[in-house]
Amino acid sequence: MFFLFTVLNNYMTYLKKRKYWFISTVKNRLGSGREYTIVWCDGQKAVQRSIHIFGSFTKHRQLFIGDRVLAKADKRQNIYLPGCVAGIVGDRINVKFCNGLIRDIEDILHCFWISTDYYDNAVKFYKKFNSD
């Protein structure tokens, strides 16, 4: 079992073996539109349910302190993690990630609201494979 999540025109995926969320590309829709073919950064293909896809077509909403998000935790490696909004100053959002890292997110388009249940499940899965 693996999870994948997606962001922007090139989408973000979670590879169980890598234990983080990364960028990938959605290639096409399958059947009713609830599943998509995804191409990962290493060229491998997978099928993913739409509930785990975040990107340029994801509706953005105003974020508030305490909201749960999936956001870019590492700019250099394009790693995304679940986190909690800890502060908001102007256009910058301060996020405390599930691994304890605290970072300012300068580009709101790289920060996606997720439900508390979705966050809890993502953190549980992350912690199962990471002992930061």
Residue ranges covered by each domain of the chain: 11-52, 68-129
pLDDT band at residue 117 under the 50/70/90 scheme: very high
For the structural domain made of 68-129, what CATH number should be given?
2.30.30.140
CA distances in angstroms from 90 to 21, 50, 85, 94, 106, listed in the order given: 27, 31, 14, 11, 10
pTM (predicted TM-score): 0.78
pLDDT per residue over 46-59, tens digit each?
A: 888 887 777 777 78
